[in-house]
């Protein structure tokens, strides 16, 4: 009987955690994300990561991005994950897009989080007004969100 109750309890915890993860939408196509941001008048968070090799990236995701505090805070943003995996296969179009953005934002280390305010120009081109950047911040979600707020509220 104890095993059944324990199994049910663990199942509920895992389901609740999975459900909270699904509520956040991380875009990988930056052009689609920018269109959404302009349409909804939102800023964009660009998360440069090495998902299958970067320990600090995993730490940032677990301590901040996978929390309910971040989920609530990020409602006014469009989230974009720009991944640079070493072992996981990746579409060539996404690879090229990510390398181009890495070059534009001069990303040299991971994790790197850039906040931008997109603006569509009269000629149809997209301008990304940089608001600032951060990376891993010690102290969990509260400390990271404090730093991010100072950038986004500009």
pLDDT, tens digit, 9 for 90 and up, residues 52-109: 999 999 999 999 999 999 999 999 999 999 999 999 999 999 999 999 999 999 999 9
Question: What is the model's pTM?
Answer: 0.84
Rounded to the nearest 10 degrees, how much is the dihedral formed by the CA atoms of 35, 40, 46, 47? -120
Give CA–CA dist 101/105, Å, rounded. 6
């Amino acid at each position: 009987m104890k095993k059944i109750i324990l199994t049910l309890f663990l199942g509920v915890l895992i389901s609740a955690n999975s459900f909270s993860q699904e509520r956040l939408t991380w875009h990988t196509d930056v052009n689609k994300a920018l269109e959404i941001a302009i349409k909804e008048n939102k800023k964009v968070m660009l998360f440069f990561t090495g998902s299958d090799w970067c320990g600090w990236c995993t730490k940032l995701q677990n301590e901040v991005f996978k929390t309910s505090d971040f989920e609530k805070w990020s409602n006014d943003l469009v989230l974009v994950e720009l991944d640079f995996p070493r072992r996981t296969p990746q579409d060539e179009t996404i690879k090229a897009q990510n390398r181009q953005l890495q070059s534009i934002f001069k990303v040299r280390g991971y994790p790197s989080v850039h906040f931008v305010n997109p603006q569509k120009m009269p000629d149809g081109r997209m301008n990304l007004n940089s608001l600032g950047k951060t990376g891993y911040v010690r102290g969990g979600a509260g400390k990271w969100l404090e730093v991010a707020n100072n950038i986004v509220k500009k």
